[in-house]
């Protein structure tokens, strides 16, 4: 039998892990009608006509636009639902998701609720814009 006494390895977790926030991104294409994009944004993301129009136009002009920021699961579900809404009508409309570092920082200071940022100027940081 060995005389070696090994210390129990205990990892102390100092704080509760916060779910990573993800951006939902609207991607431009050449085929989906503008009015249809606006309709989907209003239905899936509860935007007003004006908000939806400007998000659609930003994606149209710049290639992509951040629609909103949510916890990862919600972002993925919404992006899938919105993309499928286009697919059902035969449109190539696409919503993607990606991690949002800035929103995580802000949420860690303020609240864990999702932050909706339609047509945020920081969209310029997107590689696709
Ligand atoms: N570019 C499309 C058109 O001219 C409209 C459109 C805008 C499509 C944004 C997708 O994410 C999009 N009909």
Model confidence at 12, pLDDT cuts 50, 70, 90, reads: low
For residues 32 and 37, give the distance between their C-alpha atoms in angstroms, rounded to a whole number.
Answer: 7
Q: Which pLDDT score is estimated for 109?
A: 66
* pTM of model > 0.75: no
27-80: pLDDT as tens digits: 999 999 999 999 999 999 999 999 999 999 999 999 999 999 999 999 999 999
Mutation to probe ligand 1, out of 24, 25, 26, 29 (largest number of atoms < 8 A from CB): 29
Q: Which pLDDT score is estimated for 123?
A: 42
Residue 98, pLDDT > 90, answer yes
Ligand 1 atom nearest residue 59's Cα: 9
Over pLDDT 90: what percentage of the chain? 61
| Domains along the chain with CATH numbers | 21-106 (3.30.1390.10)
State if residue 32 touches ligand 1 by the CB under 6 angstroms criterion.
yes
């Amino acid at each position: 039998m060995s005389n070696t006494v090994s210390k129990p390895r205990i990892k102390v977790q100092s704080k509760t892990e916060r779910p990573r926030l993800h951006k939902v991104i609207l991607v431009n294409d050449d085929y989906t009608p503008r009015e249809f994009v606006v309709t989907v944004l209003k239905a899936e993301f509860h935007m007003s006509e004006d908000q939806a129009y400007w998000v659609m136009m930003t994606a149209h002009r710049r290639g992509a636009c951040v629609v909103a920021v949510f916890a990862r699961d919600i972002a993925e579900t919404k992006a899938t639902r919105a993309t499928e809404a286009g697919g059902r009508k035969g449109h190539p409309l696409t919503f993607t998701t990606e991690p949002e570092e800035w929103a995580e920082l802000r949420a860690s200071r303020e609240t864990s609720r999702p932050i909706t940022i339609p047509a945020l100027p920081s969209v310029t940081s997107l590689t696709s814009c």
